């Protein structure tokens, strides 16, 4: 089961990297819970529930920042949980400021679908990049 769940997460990352958001959303349960930390001034921060809301999350990511590097490096799986450790670098489109660092993504997989996602990241770097955009 753990290897099968890792395969689902790998497919999700592949879909994200190629820009195939519809296929990525197809890997998710209808009522998926998608959670990032709350960060003032960051348009994609916070929690969302449901495939449609997660689709809006990815549209917001696409309109507000550019991927410079997105590198999930290690997947650790146990039971229905897959933890991805990696590193990324983004550029805020409104002011060209960059932020990035290490991340941990925690996926919960049930019946072959992503039912929950939680991201752990450098919230201060992200918030600061977006706050500067607001005052630039």
Tens-level pLDDT at each residue, the chain (136 residues)? 789 999 999 999 999 999 999 999 999 999 999 999 999 999 999 999 999 999 999 999 999 999 999 999 999 999 999 999 999 999 999 999 999 999 999 999 999 999 999 999 999 999 999 986 455 4
> Per CATH, the architecture of 2-135 is what?
Roll (3.10)
Would you mind telling me the total number of residues written for the chain in this entry? Answer: 136
Whose CA is closest to 8, among 92, 110, 122? 110
Residues 6 or more apart whose CB falls under 8 angstroms from that of 112 comprise 4, 8
pLDDT for position 136: 46
Residue 41 DSSP class: T
Structure tokens at 79: 């039971």
Whose CA is closest to 2, among 69, 66, 74, 77? 77
Say if strands 47-49 and 98-110 run parallel, antiparallel, or are unpaired: unpaired
């Amino acid at each position: 089961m753990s290897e099968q769940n890792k395969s689902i997460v790998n497919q999700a990352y592949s879909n994200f990297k190629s820009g195939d958001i519809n296929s990525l959303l197809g890997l998710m349960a209808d009522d998926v819970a998608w959670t990032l930390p709350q960060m003032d001034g960051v348009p994609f921060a916070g929690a969302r529930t449901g495939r449609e809301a997660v689709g809006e999350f990815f549209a917001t990511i696409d309109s507000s920042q550019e991927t410079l590097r997105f590198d999930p490096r290690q997947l650790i799986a146990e039971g229905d949980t897959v933890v991805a450790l990696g590193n990324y670098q983004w550029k805020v489109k409104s002011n060209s400021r960059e932020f990035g660092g290490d991340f941990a993504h925690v996926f919960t997989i049930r019946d072959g679908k992503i039912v929950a996602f939680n991201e752990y990241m450098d919230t201060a770097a992200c918030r600061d990049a977006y706050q500067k955009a607001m005052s630039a």
